[in-house]
Amino acid sequence: MLSTPSMKTPQYDSSQYTVVGHSEASATGLMLFGLIPIRQNDRFVRAQNSAIQAKGGDALINTQVQEKWFWAWVLNGYTTTVSGDVIKLKTAK
């Protein structure tokens, strides 16, 4: 059985981080012939990681997830958009 990375949304106390700013990113996956997944299973994680990396942060809080889909003759596509506030974790002193 294949393992798919999961979207991480840990809880942080406000004393543990600084908010860097709001970010949003999307990722798309396809189902070819309705049977063959292409970059389908990890699209949530890819979108979340892209949103965090866009601001140079460590994590995302106040996360919102939206999904849109489209279809063509031989495939269905799913685009996931993840948005939220990017935070930078404070290091222990």
Domain spans of the chain?
19-89
pLDDT average, residue stretch 12-27: 96
Q: Which helix (H) or strand (E) holds 76?
A: strand 75-89
**35 strand-pairing partners:** none
Does the pLDDT of residue 92 top 80, yes or no? no
CB 59 within 8 A of CB 10: yes
State how far the Cα of 88 lies from the Cα of 86, in Å rounded to an integer.
Answer: 7
Quickly state the pLDDT bin for 25 (edges 50, 70, 90).
very high
State how far the Cα of 72 lies from the Cα of 90, in Å rounded to an integer.
Answer: 46
pLDDT at 1 (0 to 100): 53
Q: What is the pLDDT of residues 29-82, one digit of tens each?
A: 999 999 999 999 999 999 999 999 999 999 999 999 999 999 999 999 999 999
pLDDT at 28 (0 to 100): 98
pLDDT at 6 (0 to 100): 78
State how far the Cα of 32 lies from the Cα of 28, in Å rounded to an integer.
Answer: 13
55 burial class (0-12, 13-18, 19+ CB within 10 angstroms)? middle
Give the largest Cα separation in the chain, rounded: 58
